[in-house]
Structures are given as structure tokens and as C-alpha cells.
Structure 1
Amino acid sequence: MKQWLWSFILLVIALGATAYLMQPADSADDEGPRGRVTHVNVVQPERAQIQDRLRAVGTARARNSVDIVSEVDGRIVDIHFTEGQQVVQGDRLVSLDKRQAQADMAVAEARLKDAEAKFRRAESLQKSNSISAAEVDELVAGLAVARASLELARSRLDNLEVVAPFDGVLGLKEVSVGAWLSAGQLITTLDSIDQMLVRFQVPQRYIDQLQSGQAIDVATSGAASTRLSGEVTELGSRVDPLSRTLTVQSQVSNPDARLYPGQFLDVSLTLDTRTGLQIPEQAVMTRGRENFVYVIADGLAKRVPLELGSRLAGRVEVVEGLTLEDRVVINGQDGLSSGDPVKVLDDDDALLEPAPSSQIRAGGDDQL
């Protein structure tokens, strides 16, 4: 009985050894010195133009903006504009009743003619000493007063025509024909919007990097977002003691009138442009304060710590840690360790679509 049992045990061992020895040799493709082979996708770093950008909230302002008012009282007899109309400097906007002013003008002209005639007679009499110097002086003063009165009457008459002080777009109409218009009362607004000013605040730590001529991009909020480009034109002269920010003014071309004065804008300011290495952001892993990637060398994964720079549209700048020849893992790095065997797969869809965002600098919150 015992002999039969030992024979059975030896047979089982022999069958197991035979099965092990008959395993296919290519099964090693899925096994390695440290276990299962990890399938990964890789890319190589690219050299690209890197831009350091700062995001801020801005407000659009018209290059020139004014409330159109009358300088004198009067009744409106005609309105020469429509709401939203484009006008040029000198275009008539509103006409007031001129009858009283025209009468005053006629009186002033008559008084001037009389004063001039009296002065001419006085000049003739002065040659024969038939008039005293005091009388001549009185006539000279009267002539000056008559001329001033005529200028005043002419100015009052001219002020009854309200005209555009500069080129621009008119706003809503606030008056009607036949209404009494008081001096200083709002008629409409006028804004010059072909070139818009955009003001925004920048933290004081970036003051040394600011200068006129730096490029900016602005975007409106909403479903139909408008994006325009411009440049910094002026820097404020004071830092706000409460917010510790400096006001920056830029100018943006607005040929299609897509920006409006007072509009909220997202501003992206380019602080610096340089050439550097970039990799897909999806390749970067973080543990605590350390950023790192895995690179492939001789079929094995290797963990490489990185110093990162700016991020934009799904890509990140590598300041230190990689070269152009490195093969960087972009998929399959979860659970990977240095020394693990890997197999590189080609996949045209390995790169993720970048989420729409504005560039910021690594290591700091540059969004205001």
C-alpha cells in the first residue's frame, strides 16, 4: 500500500515538472524580473516658445467718453441723431429754439454799429480839439462793450446748436422734440470705441516685469465670447496700499464694436517669452511637493524629478530634468515604479484634449 502511494506522489511531481517545462517561451513577454510588464504610451519633449502669462480681471473703457448736455436753457425744436449712430466731430445733434437769441444778436449788432459810428465822429472831432479826451475814452469803452455784447450774443446763438465734440457712437436718447431742456441736462452719451482702453490690477511682486508694449489678450464672458489682442500703454504711478496692486492700462483695437465701455473682461498679460522644453501635462505626477515623470530606458521605467515652469493648454514647461531624447510616459504611469519592465504601445489617441485655460506660472497663483 505504501509503495503504491509513493508511486502516485512521484507521478504527480513528474507531471507537474513536465507541464512547467512545456510552457511557451514567449510567455516571458508579459513577465519580467519584477512581475507583470506595464503597457505605456510615450512622447518626447518638444522645444517651443514659452510665454509667462498673468491672468487678471479688467474693465473696458472708451478712449473718449462724454455726456452730451446743453450749455443753455431752451426748447428743443429738432433732434438730428438716432440711437447708436456713428457721428463725426461737429455733427449737429440737437437744435434749440433760436428766436430770442437771434433777436438778441440783432440788437447787439445794432449797438455795435452805433458805437463804431460814434467813435469815428469822435476821432474826427479829436483832430480839431473839439472833444475832450475823457469823452473819447468813454466812447472807446462803449465800443469795447458793444463788441463784447455781440460776441456774447453770438455765443448764446451758437450754443443753441448742440454738436458732437469728437468722433464716436451715440447712446440712448434722453430727450424729445418740444421738451424744455435745461442747461446741464443729459441729452445722450458719446463714446469713442474704435480703440478701447482696458484697465486691470497687477500684484506688486510683478512690477519689475511690467513695461509698455507688452502683449495682452482680452476675452468677454458668455457663450459667444469675444477675443481681442492689444498691448500695455501706461502703468499707474501708485500701488494701492490696501490691495498692493498697480493699475495697468492697455489699448485694444475694437473695429467691429464688439467691446462696450464698462464691460467685464478676462485679461491675459504676457510677461515674458522664451524658448524651452514642453511635455504634456498628463505625464506629470505629484507626490507632496515633488513633481516627477517616468522615462523609459532599456525597457525599464525610471522616475525623474522635475522643475516645472509655465503651463498652457495641456502642456507644461520643463525647466530642469529632461532632454529632447528622453521618452516620457504619458499613459500607464499610475502604480509604476523605477525599475519596472514596460512595453511601449503606439496610440494616436494617447494625448488627452487640453481643457481651455489661460497660462499661469507654476508655483504661484497668478489669477486675480
Structure 2
Amino acid sequence: MAIMLAAVGLAFAAVFGFEAFRARTVQKSIAGLRNPPQAVSAITAGTQQWRDRLEAVGSTRAGKGVDLSPQVSGIVKAIHFQSGENVEQGTLLVELEDADDVAHLHALEAMAELAQLNYDRDARLLKSQSVSQQKADAGLATLKNDQAQVAQQQALVGYKSIRTPFSGRLGIRQVDVGQYIAPGTPIVTLQQLDPIFVDFYLPQQDLAKIKVGQPVIAKVDTYPDLTFTGEIMAINPLVNVATRNVQVRATFNNSDEKLLPGMFATVDVDVGTQKDYVTLPKTAIYYNAYGDIAYLVENAGGDKSGQEQKVARQVFVKTGQTRGDQVAVLDGIKPGDVVVTAGQNKLHNGSPVRINNEVTTPFSANPQVSEQ
């Protein structure tokens, strides 16, 4: 029994001793491992002169725009335009059946001519006192009434021909020959595209910063690589009581007709004087719920071989306005600081880093889309 107990004790001692030896060996191995430096892209923070900018969203609208429709009912007799063509003011677009109205006009004109002859005869006889003044006055009243009816019928006949009220581009035709249309039925839209307006809204506290004639920059999603420059045309004198916003209208030259009415547009209005801001690529800022942070690259001295070591230090930053790929940093970073622009997801405070700028981060206030 004593020999058996001794053997079991030696077995347990050997097992626990081996586990302890292995644990110490693993700890020594981990302690001997070096934390390898992480490859990151970095940039030296610099300053740029920016003016404060008001940002808003708006919609484009034509300088002149209307949906053409008839004033009277009728059947479409002829269509004289093609969808999408450019037309001049006064161009005949649609004719409605007017034979009955024209015939009635001729009848009224004949009555007016007869009234004119009767009045002229009475006027001559009145000079010789052959007719009374009352008869001459009645003839004049009849003449004027007949002439008014002729003018009324001429206007009615004119309503049967729909013409363009101004020059512009036509939209898509909505009616066909032989179709009966009632007053107000849309025929085609007519839009004057040059110049074009952009309507947007600003909060009432920004009213003191804007004025008529102030430059405005607009962008639309259709042309992400283009900016359109215009100026403030009018400021609504009424502030919306529900939103406390004021409507502003800017006018833009649109000779190339790239902008069409109804487009969604983003609008920037530069205000104030130019100021120096520390600017960085947007990718340099790591946004989270606890605050915006960035990683600075700092020297940590040399290692045993004498090679200089760099480490990342996490700092909280306060950001301002953005332009293109850039963001202004109001606090937390000074000019000359080396800031990580890519690879932050591999870092923590104190991580060793190695700068590799073979792939650079876009850094432009007015980025251009590559055609490749």
C-alpha cells in the first residue's frame, strides 16, 4: 500500500510539474515576442484658408415654365410640333376644330358691315335733318355692339390655336390628333432653361450673412464632377413661421442646358472672411459615439539595434465644415502633426507603426471623378 501511494504521488507530481513547466515556457515565449509595427498611411497636417460656408439643399426650376393647355374645349385638328424640340415665341403648336366658330365669325362680320352702312347713311342724312338724332344714335349703338361681338368671336377663334407664350424647349406631347380635350387639359410642357433658378432655404439666423448678388455654388448628382456658379437673385421677405426658414433664389447661367427643372441640388454660399484651418482627409477622422478621434504618429526612441521607433497616439478632435475630401479640424491637431489617414482599425493607443504612403488618400477640396 505504501509503495502504491508513493507511486501515485510521484505520478501526480510529474503531471503538475510538467504543466507548470509548460506554462512558464509559454509565458517566456510570449514575453519574448515583439509587437510588430503596423503599416499605415500618414500625412503631415497643414493649414488652408477657408471662408465660412452656408450649406443648403434646394431644387432647380426654369426661368420660365408652363404646362400649355387650351382655354376652350374642342377636337384636335392638327399638331405642329415634335416632342423635345426648341421653339420660338409665338410658334403654332396645336389647332382645334374651328369651322363652326369661323362661320359664326363671318356672320357677325356681315352684320357689323351692315350696321356700318346703316350708320354711315344715317350720319349723312342727319346733316340734312332727314333723320332724327335718336335714329342716328341707335345706329351707332348697333354698330358698336356688332363690332364687339365680332371681336369676341375673333378671340374665341384665336383660342382654337395654341401658341407658345415664350421661347423654350418643349416636353413630351400629351395629346393626339382627333382627341377631344377640355379646357385645362395638358398638351405639352414648355420650359425656358437659360437662365435657370435654384430655390433653397436657410435658417433665419443666417439672414444677416447673405445678400442679393452674393456668389453661390451648386452641385447636382447628375454631374458629380461639375460645379455651377451663380448668384443670389432674391431673398423672400417672409420667414416661414413653422420652420423659421427663409426662401432664397439663386440664378445660374445654363447655356449648355445641363441643368433641368426639378433637379435636387446642394448649395454652398461663402460668407465672412477667409480663415486659416487645419485640414485633413476625411479618412483621418474616426467617428464614433464617444467622440471623433485621430491617431498621431510620434517618435518613441530607438530599439536595441538603434532603429527609430514610431508609435500611434490617440487624440480626440473637434471637426468643422467639410469640402470635397477635406475636413477642417478646429481642435486637437496642430500644423506639423503627423496624422494617420488609413489603417486606424489596426491601432490602439501606443501601437508601434510603420508609415507606408505608397497608396495615398484623396485630399482635395474640389475632387474630380476619374474617367478611367
Q: TM-score, normalised by structure 2?
A: 0.68
- The corresponding residue for 2:218 is 217
**C-alpha distance in structure 1 between counterparts of 2:266 and 2:119, whole Å:** 69
Equivalent pair of 1:63/1:193 in contact (CA under 8 Å): yes
Question: What's the CA shift for 1:48?
Answer: 3.1
Paired residues for 1:133-152 under 5 Å = 133-152=133-152
- The corresponding residue for 2:126 is 126
Equivalent pair of 1:278/1:315 in contact (CA under 8 Å): no
- The corresponding residue for 1:312 is 323
**C-alpha distance in structure 2 between counterparts of 1:161 and 1:41, whole Å:** 70
**C-alpha distance in structure 2 between counterparts of 1:296 and 1:110, whole Å:** 102
Equivalent pair of 2:218/2:266 in contact (CA under 8 Å): yes
**C-alpha distance in structure 2 between counterparts of 1:96 and 1:286, whole Å:** 65
Q: Deviations over 1:32-58 (max 9, x none)?
A: xxxx99999876554534143344332
- The corresponding residue for 1:366 is none
Distance change >3 Å, CA 115–CA 211, structure 1 → 2 = same
Structure 2 residue identity aligned to 1:67: D
Q: Deviations over 1:268-295 (max 9, x none)?
A: 3123261424332466689977978859
Structure 2 residue identity aligned to 1:274: Q
Question: What's the CA shift for 1:257?
Answer: 3.5
Distance change >3 Å, CA 286–CA 294, structure 1 → 2 = farther
Question: What's the CA shift for 1:79?
Answer: 0.4
Paired residues for 1:1-368 under 5 Å = 46-212=46-212, 213-220=214-221, 225=224, 227-229=226-228, 230-263=230-263, 265-272=264-271, 274-281=274-281, 309-317=320-328, 326=336, 328-330=338-340, 348-349=357-358, 351-354=360-363
Question: What's the CA shift for 1:65?
Answer: 1.8
**C-alpha distance in structure 2 between counterparts of 1:283 and 1:180, whole Å:** 65
Question: What's the CA shift for 1:182?
Answer: 2.7
Give the superposed CA RMSD: 4.0
Question: What's the CA shift for 1:77?
Answer: 1.5
- The corresponding residue for 1:28 is none
Equivalent pair of 1:276/1:319 in contact (CA under 8 Å): no
Distance change >3 Å, CA 228–CA 42, structure 1 → 2 = closer
Question: What's the CA shift for 1:118?
Answer: 1.4
Question: Percent of counterpart pairs with the same letter?
Answer: 25
Question: What's the CA shift for 1:138?
Answer: 0.6
Question: What's the CA shift for 1:68?
Answer: 1.2
Structure 2 residue identity aligned to 1:352: T
Identify the range of structure 1 (309-318 vs 196-205) with the bigger mean alpha-carbon deviation. Answer: 309-318
Question: What's the CA shift for 1:297?
Answer: 10
**C-alpha distance in structure 2 between counterparts of 1:196 and 1:215, whole Å:** 13
SS in 1 for 2:143: helix
Equivalent pair of 1:295/1:304 in contact (CA under 8 Å): no
**C-alpha distance in structure 2 between counterparts of 1:173 and 1:42, whole Å:** 58
**C-alpha distance in structure 2 between counterparts of 1:304 and 1:75, whole Å:** 76
SS in 2 for 1:184: coil
SS in 1 for 2:147: helix
Equivalent pair of 2:71/2:184 in contact (CA under 8 Å): yes
Q: Deviations over 1:313-358 (max 9, x none)?
A: 343445678886x454446996668xxxx99x88654752359999
**C-alpha distance in structure 1 between counterparts of 2:338 and 2:37, whole Å:** 17
- How many residues get paired? 317
**C-alpha distance in structure 1 between counterparts of 2:159 and 2:113, whole Å:** 24
Question: What's the CA shift for 1:106?
Answer: 1.9
**C-alpha distance in structure 2 between counterparts of 1:100 and 1:269, whole Å:** 58
Structure 2 residue identity aligned to 1:271: D
**C-alpha distance in structure 2 between counterparts of 1:188 and 1:38, whole Å:** 64
Distance change >3 Å, CA 308–CA 182, structure 1 → 2 = closer
SS in 2 for 1:65: strand
Identify the range of structure 1 (286-295 vs 251-260) with the bigger mean alpha-carbon deviation. Answer: 286-295
**C-alpha distance in structure 1 between counterparts of 2:157 and 2:37, whole Å:** 94
**C-alpha distance in structure 1 between counterparts of 2:71 and 2:37, whole Å:** 86
Q: TM-score, normalised by structure 1?
A: 0.69
**C-alpha distance in structure 2 between counterparts of 1:143 and 1:149, whole Å:** 10
- The corresponding residue for 1:3 is none
Question: What's the CA shift for 1:89?
Answer: 0.9
Question: What's the CA shift for 1:165?
Answer: 0.9
Equivalent pair of 2:326/2:364 in contact (CA under 8 Å): no
